[in-house]
């Protein structure tokens, strides 16, 4: 039994990819498996928290005891996140949200035409920034930064620009870590401190992240 340091606390965690439809049979997405977000949910549950897990389409099973909310698109993720965040002590944006969606979603399957096809994309809302800008009932807000270069400066930029309380910088250029693997390494940044979490299993690193977060609740 682990010390129930999160008893009475509610965490809302997003996980997995979003899918942005192009037509009835196609979408834009990414390689997120949901493993990192689901491990965070599991760790929080083991420490006694109530957990809302808002998840894009993944093939893994939700931890027992989590309140699973399934979404597909970034817009659906935004709606559910705002609903649950306002009743949460902390919000963790671990989902790999598509930054852009199709400007127009075709109602019929697009037919093959010439040798080139140009898609027009429009920017999606930023979910974790929207949560961090809640004026009432703003939870302690944690983001991730998945980067392949300039990891520290991009992560610190997102911490500041999205008005987050903490960010987990995830160097996703290292093979065997990050997207779709069972292991990860993170550096946590707050506005005035940082903490390196060396490579380990997602289960273990999720516990370390949740324990750090718990100090602020
Ligand atoms: O799912 P796994 O296979 O286990 O992989 C885990 C992971 C690599 C996906 C995860 O650890 C991770 O890094 N998640 C964040 C992925 C991401 O979208 O990073 P980003 O740097 O593009 O976004 C920064 C932050 O803003 C993230 O908290 C993201 O959830 C959020 N965001 C981004 C765009 C958007 N429109 N809305 C958002 O809320």
What confidence tens digit (pLDDT) does each residue in 2-32 have? 899 999 999 999 999 999 999 999 999 999 9
Residue nearest to atom 5 of ligand 1 (CA): 179
Q: What would the pLDDT profile of 78-103 be if each residue is shown by its tens digit?
A: 999 999 999 999 999 999 999 999 99
SS3 98: coil
Q: Which pairs with CB-CB distance under 8 Å and at least 24 residues apart come from 34-38?
A: 34/58, 34/60, 35/60, 35/180, 35/181, 35/182, 35/202, 36/94, 36/144, 36/184, 36/202, 36/206, 37/13, 37/92, 37/94, 37/95, 38/62, 38/63
Cα-to-centroid distance, 118 and ligand 1 (Å): 26
Which has the closest alpha carbon to 141: 94, 215, 193, 91?
Answer: 91
For residue 174, count CB atoms less than 10 angstroms from its CB and return exposed for 0-12, middle for 13-18, buried for 19 or more: middle
CA atoms within 13 A on the CB side of 51: 28
Q: What is the C-alpha separation between 125 and 45, in angstroms, rounded?
A: 29
> What pLDDT was estimated at residue 2?
86
How much is the mean pLDDT over the chain? 97
**Position 52 pLDDT exceeds 90:** yes
Give this prediction's pTM: 0.97
Q: What would the pLDDT profile of 158-217 be if each residue is shown by its tens digit?
A: 999 999 999 999 999 998 998 999 999 999 999 999 999 999 999 999 999 999 999 999
Q: Is 30 among the residues known to form the active site? A: yes
Q: Which residues, judged by CB distance below 6 Å to any ligand atom, belong to the binding site of ligand 1?
A: 32-36, 74, 93-97, 99, 124, 126-128, 143-146, 158, 170, 172, 178-180
List the domain boundaries for the chain. Answer: 10-214
ipTM (interface pTM): 0.99
> What pLDDT was estimated at residue 202?
98
Asked whether the beta carbons of 139 and 166 are under 8 A apart, the reply is: no
SS3 64: coil
| Percent residues over pLDDT 90 in the chain | 97
Topology of the domain comprising 10-214: Rossmann fold (3.40.50)
């Amino acid at each position: 039994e682990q010390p129930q340091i999160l008893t009475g606390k509610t965490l809302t965690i997003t996980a997995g990819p979003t899918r942005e439809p192009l037509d009835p049979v196609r979408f834009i997405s990414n390689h997120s498996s949901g493993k990192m977000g689901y491990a965070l949910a599991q760790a929080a549950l083991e420490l006694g928290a109530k957990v809302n897990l808002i998840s894009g389409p993944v093939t893994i099973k939700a931890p027992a005891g989590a309140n699973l909310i399934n979404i597909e698109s970034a817009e659906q993720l935004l709606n559910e996140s705002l609903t649950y965040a306002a009743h949460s002590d902390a919000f963790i944006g671990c989902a790999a949200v598509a930054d852009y969606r199709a400007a127009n979603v075709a109602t019929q399957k697009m037919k093959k035409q010439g040798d080139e096809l140009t898609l027009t994309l429009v920017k999606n809302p930023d979910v974790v920034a929207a949560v961090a800008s809640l004026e009432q009932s703003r939870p302690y807000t944690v983001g991730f930064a998945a980067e392949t270069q300039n990891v520290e400066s991009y992560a610190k930029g997102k911490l500041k620009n999205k008005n987050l309380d903490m960010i987990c910088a995830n160097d996703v250029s290292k093979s065997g870590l990050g997207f779709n693997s069972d292991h990860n390494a993170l550096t946590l940044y707050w506005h005035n401190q940082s903490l390196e979490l060396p490579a380990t299993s997602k289960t273990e690193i999720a516990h370390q992240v949740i324990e750090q977060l718990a100090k602020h609740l």
